[in-house]
Amino acid sequence: MGTVTDAPDPAAMREQYRTTDLVESDLAPTPMDQFARWFKEATTAGLTEPNAMVVSTATPEGRPSSRTVLLKGYDDRGFVFFTNYGSRKGRELAANPYVSLLFPWHGLARQVIVTGTACRVGRDETAAYFRTRPHGSQLGAWASEQSTVIASRAELVARYEDLTARYPEDEQVPVPPNWGGFRVDPEAVEFWQGKENRLHDRLRYVGAGEGAWRLERLSP
């Protein structure tokens, strides 16, 4: 294997996680209630963008891809994010709805891992969220044909400037027709708490049908 000079050695990096135990009796009855607890703690701890999650999708042939996306809502129905439906993740989810979400809360030595299926949210829900976005972000959703090849950044900026002229700050920006939300309906949700000597706590909720959940402890 080749080496890169003057670069840190990742094999030499060590971190001991000194945290409290994560035990079954402390968890909420449902994974969404438990997520709400941990999400509040991550927010209160001042973590940078605790709603940032790694969304992993795959083609029907099983070729995976991952990217960071911001969570924009969650409730008993699942986790919601928004994107261009023509993006790589949008196309892959249209062909293969199975998805994984990872919330990497390193500052708390915690992770939440969600596996499930994604479906589009309704246009009314998409429009309601779109109206809450800053004006510039609304224009950006129009300017970027996400995941497509462009000649240069100047091309992207030119599109944005054209849109700025067409839709000034005091004018409502329509919702792009190929832009909207996905809701991930969880089939399993794992709560991972880092512990000393790599003896991590891993507790996973698994759907048991009709809104019931089974709790499992996994070996680290």
pLDDT of residue 2: 61
pLDDT of residue 146: 87
Tally of residues, the chain: 220
Distance CA 175, CA 187 (A): 31
Which residue type occupies 198? R
What are the residue ranges spanned by the domains of the chain? 17-132+177-218
pLDDT of residue 1: 54
For the chain, residues with pLDDT lower than 70 are: 1-5, 11, 13-14
Distance CA 118, CA 55 (A): 11
Is 37 catalytic? The answer is no
Q: Which of 63, 131, 198, 217 is catalytic?
A: 198
- Contact predicate 118/53, CB 8 Å: no
- Contact predicate 205/215, CB 8 Å: yes
Burial class from Cβ neighbours inside 10 Å (0-12, 13-18, 19+) for residue 20 reads exposed
Burial class from Cβ neighbours inside 10 Å (0-12, 13-18, 19+) for residue 79 reads buried
pLDDT, tens digit, 9 for 90 and up, residues 106-120: 999 999 999 999 999
Domain 17-132+177-218 has CATH 2.30.110.10: yes
pLDDT of residue 6: 76
pLDDT of residue 99: 98
pLDDT of residue 19: 81
pLDDT of residue 4: 60
pLDDT of residue 3: 59
